[in-house]
Amino acid sequence: MATFDYDLFVIGGGSGGVRAARMAAETGAKVALAEEYRMGGTCVIRGCVPKKLMVFASHYGSAAADARDYGWDFEGGSFNWSRFQPALHAELDRLEGIYRQNLANAGAKIHNARATVKDPHTVALSTGKEVSAKHILIATGGAPYVPHFDGCNLAITSNDIFNLETFPERILIVGGGYIACEFATIFRGLGAHVAQWYRGAQILRGFDDEVRGHLAELIRGHGVDLHVGLEVERMEKRGKRVWVKGTDGREDEFDQVLYATGRHPNTTGLGLAEAGVELGRWGEVKVDDYGQTSVPSIYAVGDVTNRIQLTPVAIREGMAFVETVFKGNPTKPDHELVPSAVFTTPEYGAVGLTEEQARKREPVDVYCAAFRPMQKSFIGRAERVLFKLIVSKASQKVLGCHIVADGAGEMIQLAAVALKMGATKADFDATVAVHPTMAEEIVLMKQPTRSH
């Protein structure tokens, strides 16, 4: 019987990999993990966590203006990047330390090195060492993608944004996905001049069409110079700024150009194909329902599989992997009715089907309400929130819920519980409203706005 250095070797120290390594080690398995950069992965170090802290920071300017309209007397201020950034990095250091400590407490060995797959049971480390493992788990996540064009080397990505030495007073954000839209409203809220260019016809492709249009109007209303059907043709360095020419002939200069044009699975140079692991068109690791690749001893979880690129999903996949491989309890990660939030200003929370997806499946009723919330209406703000339910005509089950409002991310988490339980429109109707709140509208929409 073959003997191995480890029962499990995890490549990648992000949320999915760390959770799998820790839980496997807690079963008594001998576990090691290799991370070439910093523990915590995209979410903790260069994604969800620092981004959300910037979202918080971006809200205080408008909150101060609102406070004055509510009767508060004080002098206005301005955002100080040099004060915020050190505090941000201190928090990321603290969280990274927790990740490392939790792994160590569980008994897992950490290799601060790049790891590649040599064969189905062998991992080669950048230190020159090779180790063997009964099982190998690929959890290397994704990486930002920048297309090739003249001057593309002048672009930065979400990997760089938190490490900028100076705050960009003028920034161009290229892309229309949730990362691009989030950073557009973040930097606008922090006081920058923001332009956003997207080559598609409307932002947030793949989300609900009605919400996409509503949110685009709100983003423009917050002062973002948003243009769709527009790409960058080329860029040049001119002095301290980047000169940009668009495909419609327009020219402008910016302190920074942030590309948020998608993410690709991080598998380049890992040796996976050479070891027999099947990869997809974008380099994603092909897996079955249990996370197993075409090589039986190699598994993968998280963004590297290009299924649902969300941190909680990667964590669930890591847990399902441990249940399957180390606890003898074959478990498929549940990818149905996964809630998500886009942390723009205002936020967009969604769970279940879009109106377009639902209409393709069956006849549906659509309930929708857009209104000025009390907090904003009182001080003359024009911004309108949006609440939307998509309901099956046949079963009356709520198939989708969409909310655009301050705190939508918090609201959608609770709505997701109801949808996961199979709630019907009658269940929503039978629930007493909490008054006065925005969220009460979700149980007060009695007549369909339209039916399909």
Question: Any idea which fold 152-261 has?
Answer: FAD/NAD(P)-binding domain (3.50.50)
Kindly tell me the burial class for residue 329, based on how many C-beta atoms sit within 10 Å of its own C-beta (0-12, 13-18, 19 or more). exposed
Residue 1 has a pLDDT of 58
**Pairing status of strand 6-11 against strand 130-138:** parallel
Residue 370 has a pLDDT of 97
Please report, to the nearest 10 degrees, the dihedral formed by the alpha carbons of residues 420, 422, 428, 431 taken in order: -80
Residue 77 has a pLDDT of 83
Residue 305 has a pLDDT of 97
CA separation for the pair 75, 99 (Å, rounded): 41
What is the per-residue pLDDT across 375-400, written as a single tens digit (0 to 9) for each? 999 999 999 999 999 999 999 999 99
CATH fold match for the domains 6-143+264-325 and 340-451 = no
H or E stretch covering 82: helix 81-106
435 catalytic per annotation: yes
Task: Give the single-character DSSP code of 153.
Answer: G
Q: Is the dihedral of CA 54, 57, 63, 65 positive or negative?
A: negative
Domain 6-143+264-325 has what CATH class?
alpha beta
What is the per-residue pLDDT across 39-82, written as a single tens digit (0 to 9) for each? 898 888 889 999 999 999 999 999 999 999 999 998 878 999 99
Residue 277 has a pLDDT of 97
CA separation for the pair 385, 437 (Å, rounded): 12
What is the per-residue pLDDT across 338-383, written as a single tens digit (0 to 9) for each? 999 999 999 999 999 999 999 999 999 999 999 999 999 999 999 9
What is the per-residue pLDDT across 396-452, written as a single tens digit (0 to 9) for each? 999 999 999 999 999 999 999 999 999 999 999 999 999 999 999 999 999 999 999
The rounded percent of the chain whose pLDDT value lies above 70 is: 100
Catalytic residue among 59, 214, 435, 452: 435
Residue boundaries of the structural domains of the chain: 6-143+264-325, 152-261, 340-451
Instruction: Quote the mean pLDDT of the chain.
Output: 96
pTM, full prediction: 0.95
CATH superfamily membership of 340-451: FAD/NAD-linked reductase, C-terminal dimerisation domain (3.30.390.30)
What is the per-residue pLDDT across 128-157, written as a single tens digit (0 to 9) for each? 999 999 999 999 999 999 999 999 999 999
